[in-house]
Amino acid sequence: MNEFLRQHATTVVSRLKAGEITPFDCLDALEARIAEVDPKVNALPTLCFDRARKEAKSLMAKPVAERGLLCGLPIPIKDLNDVKGVRSTQGSPIFAERIAEQSDVLVEHIEREGGLVYAMSNTPEFGAGANTFNEVFGTTLNPWNRTRSAAGSSGGAAVALATGMAWVAHGSDMGGSLRNPASFCGVVGMRPSPGRVAVSVFSKIDGTLGLDGPMARNVEDLALLFDAMVGAEPGDPLSLPKEDISYLAAAQAKRKPGRVAVSRDLGITPVDPEVAELVMKAAKRLEAEGVIVEEAHPDFSEAHECFQVLRALSFATGMKSLLENHRDKLKPEVVWNIEKGLKLTGAEIATAEAQRGAMFRRTLEFFKTYDLLLCPATIVAAYPVEQRYLAECNGYKFATYVDWLAIVYAITNVSCPAISIPMGFTAENLPVGLQIVAPPRGEAALLGGAGFIESLLGLRDITPIDPR
C-alpha cells in the first residue's frame, strides 16, 4: 500500500495547506488504490474522479486561506445523499440509473469547506438494514474477513476507510448506521446530536431519528471532518449554528473523564459474551487510570416499542409513494417497514412519542452523575455476510431484522451523540467497537473523552489493511 494513504487525514490536510502536496496527488493515490482493492470488497461502486479533478482545479485557483477546512481532502459520499451530476441510486432498482440534478445541502457544505467528492459509497436499499447489500451493486464485504458482513448502512464508507480507499468518509445513522459498520470494520463512526449536520429535507422537516455524520480511521480525523460538516443551513430548519469551538482541538485535548458508567447490554438486549468481556476490559483500563467507573445505564425499557413505531412512521412518511408505485422493486424488509408505518394508529404514535420523552428526561438526569456512558457498539462481531441480518444472539432469537440493533437505537431514541471506536478483537481476529455516549449536544466532551480512551486502548492505527 502507498504509505501516503496510511497517513492520518490531519497530516494530509496540513500538507495540503503547506503546499507539499496537491489535491491531485490525493486523487491519483486514491484512484490507484481503488482500482487495486475495490474489486475485492465492493465498497465504492460509483466513482466521479473527473468531477473531483474539475473541482480541485477550481479550488487550487483560490489562495490557500480560502480553500476551507479540508483544503482539497477527498471524501466519498454515502449513496443516500445526492451529488450533482453523479449517479445517485439509494441502493434501489427504482433509481438505478438516476443522475442527481442538485447536490444535497450536506454535500454543498462539505464542498464549501474544500472537500472533494470522488465516489459514492455502497449502502443497503434506502439504508434499511445493517448489512450492506442491494440489487443495484451487490454486497460489500468486510476486509478483515471477506466472508463476513461489513454491517451497515454506511458499510461502503467503513470498508473504504479500513482498506485505505478513503481518509475520511460521510455516513448516516438511524439504527446505528455509522456506529455498526465502524464496529465491524475497525474504524471510527460518530452519530452527532440532531441539528449539528444540516441535510436536505424531502418529507418530515423535523425528523431526529436519521442523522448524517462523520467516519474516519481515528478520533482526530473524524473530528476534522466533523468541523467541516457542522453549521446551520436554511434548507434544514433544525440545523444548528456552528459552535465557537474546534472539535478537532477537543479531540486532540484527550480529556480524561472523571466518572463514567459502563453497561454490557443497557438492560435491553442479549450480547455475545466475548463482546461483553471486551467492554468490561476497556472499563478496567479506565479505572486503572483513576477514572471512577460504575456499572449503570439509564432506564431504556421502552426502547424497543418506541423505536419500532417511530422508525416505521418515518418509513411511511418518506416512502409511501414508492410502495404505491414501485412495490415490486422494493426489498421485503422495506415493504414491511412502510406497511407497518401506514397501519399505525394515533394512539400508538402518541404512546411512542411519550415513551421517547420519558427516556430522554431520564437520560438527562443520568448524565448529571456521569460524564460518559460506555457499552458495546454492536452486540456481536461481524457475522456471515450471506445472512441478511443477525437472527440470533446468545440463544435469543430476534423477532425482526432491526431488533439486534437495540444497543445503538436506544441511544438514537434519546438524541445523544455517540461514537464507536475500536476496543479489541475477538478470538477470530475480528474487530469490535466500544460505544461511547455523551449528553445531548455534548460532542466536544464526547470527542475529548473518546480521544483519551482511544490513546489508552492503543488501537488507533489498526487500519488501513489489505482485504483478507
- Domain assignment present for residue 410? The answer is yes
* pLDDT computed for residue 270 by the predictor: 98
Q: Would residue 177 show up in a list of annotated catalytic residues for this protein?
A: yes
Cβ-contact 19, 124 below 8 angstroms: no
Q: Cα separation of 196 and 225, whole Å?
A: 13
- Say yes or no to pLDDT of 216 above 90: yes
Calculate mean pLDDT across residues 254-280.
98
Cβ-contact 95, 89 below 8 angstroms: yes
- Domain assignment present for residue 465? The answer is no
Q: How many CB atoms lie within 10 A of CB 39?
A: 9
- Say yes or no to pLDDT of 322 above 90: yes
What are 124-181's pLDDT values in tens digits? Answer: 999 999 999 999 999 999 999 999 999 999 999 999 999 999 999 999 999 999 999 9
- Say yes or no to pLDDT of 85 above 90: yes
What are 379-403's pLDDT values in tens digits? Answer: 999 999 999 999 999 999 999 999 9
- Domain assignment present for residue 463? The answer is no
What are 393-444's pLDDT values in tens digits? Answer: 999 999 999 999 999 999 999 999 999 999 999 999 999 999 999 999 999 9
Q: What are phi and psi of 255, to 5 degrees?
A: -75, 120
Percent of the chain at pLDDT above 70? 100
- Domain assignment present for residue 208? The answer is yes
Joined together, the cell numbers standing for residue 236 give 434544514
Neighbour-count burial of 399, counting CB atoms closer than 10 A to its CB (0-12 exposed, 13-18 middle, 19+ buried): exposed
From the DSSP assignment, how many helices (H) and strands (E) are in the chain? 15, 15
The boundaries of the domain holding residue 239 are: 3-457
* pLDDT computed for residue 1 by the predictor: 83
Q: Would residue 153 show up in a list of annotated catalytic residues for this protein?
A: yes
Q: Would residue 84 show up in a list of annotated catalytic residues for this protein?
A: no
- Domain assignment present for residue 316? The answer is yes
- Domain assignment present for residue 242? The answer is yes
Domain count for the chain: 1
What are 160-175's pLDDT values in tens digits? Answer: 999 999 999 999 999 9
Q: In this structure, which amino acid lies at residue 261?
A: A
Cα 19 to the chain's mean position, in Å?
31
Q: What are phi and psi of 125, to 5 degrees?
A: -55, 120
What's the CATH code of the domain at 203? 3.90.1300.10
Residue 381 neighbours by CB under 8 Å, 6+ apart? 148, 184, 272, 274, 275, 426, 428, 430, 431, 432
Candidate list 88, 121, 149, 153, residue with the active-site label: 153
Candidate list 88, 177, 415, 420, residue with the active-site label: 177
Q: Cα separation of 160 and 274, whole Å?
A: 27
Q: How far is CA 400 from CA 13, 45, 195, 306, in A?
A: 43, 29, 29, 14
Q: In this structure, which amino acid lies at residue 101?
A: E
